[in-house]
Chains A and B, each alone.
Chain A
Amino acid sequence: GAVVSQHPSRVICKSGTSVKIECRSLDFQATTMFWYRQFPKKSLMLMATSNEGSKATYEQGVEKDKFLINHASLTLSTLTVTSAHPEDSSFYICSASWWLAGGPEQFFGPGTRLTVL
């Protein structure tokens, strides 16, 4: 099946620094990638939709200047958390979309645990 990787899997940073998370589709080209945030014991919250070669579409309430998304190729999207603060600590998950077996499908990365001190 389709594989999506994320790097790093875990990151700890100091408040005020920026952190970049990479999402790669390893064996297929994804025209659309998604970034989610998940709080403990909660469902996934869609942050933004990322299309290759164009600006990301952010969900309401998500600061686009704080969460910078770049989708430079069909296999790579990056999320940069700028000037991170403790409240940005969370589990970030990406996914890549593909049309498979008669319908749309998203393949999820393993997630990145961000801790801001």
Chain B
Amino acid sequence: AQSVTQLGSHVSVSEGALVLLRCNYSSSVPPYLFWYVQYPNQGLQLLLKYTTGATLVKGINGFEAEFKKSETSFHLTKPSAHMSDAAEYFCAVTLNDYKLSFGAGTTVTVRA
């Protein structure tokens, strides 16, 4: 079975500063990894995903994540935070059956 741990339930950054959200996974086989963003009262939007190949994955809105197998991590970064990045972020993992296991989520607030 696979699982995901997101370190830090809340992250507060200044506008223009680096955003770093941490995600570690456990899986017995190479997983597929995802980062989703959720704005209040909305569904989830895919930011990026890792399947195979290049370990540095670029997504929408300037986000990127790096798959590090040796560290079982898939941390999400954005070089410069924008006010519109304030939202809830979820890391998720699946194997081949489409069933997602989600982390607990990280709330990002952006200070002007």
Contacts and interface: CB of A to CB of B under 8 A. Distances in A.
Contacts of A8: none
B45 A113 contact: no
Interface residue tally of chain A, by bracket?
Answer: 20 to 34
Contact of B100 (A41, A106, A110, A111): A106
Nearest to A6: B43
A60 interface: no
B52 interface: yes
A91 interface: yes
A67 interface: no
Contact of A104 (B32, B52, B103): B32
Interface in B75-110: 90, 94, 96-100, 102-105, 107
Nearest to A1: B46
Contacts of A104: 32, 94, 96-98
Given A91-B41, A111-B42, A34 B99 contact: yes
Interface residue tally of chain B, by bracket?
Answer: 20 to 34
A75 B43 CA distance: 18
A55 to B, nearest CB: 16
B49 A103 contact: yes
Interface in A58-117: 91, 93, 95, 97, 101-111, 113
A93 B43 contact: yes
A47 B49 CA distance: 23
Contacts of B12: none
Interface of B: 32, 34, 36, 41-46, 49, 51-53, 90, 94, 96-100, 102-105, 107
Interface of A: 4, 6, 32, 34, 41-44, 46, 49, 91, 93, 95, 97, 101-111, 113
26 contacts: A4-B43, A6-B43, A32-B98, A34-B98, A34-B99, A43-B102, A43-B103, A44-B90, A44-B102, A91-B41, A93-B44, A95-B44, A101-B51, A102-B51, A103-B51, A104-B32, A105-B34, A105-B46, A105-B49, A107-B46, A108-B36, A108-B45, A110-B42, A110-B43, A111-B41, A111-B43
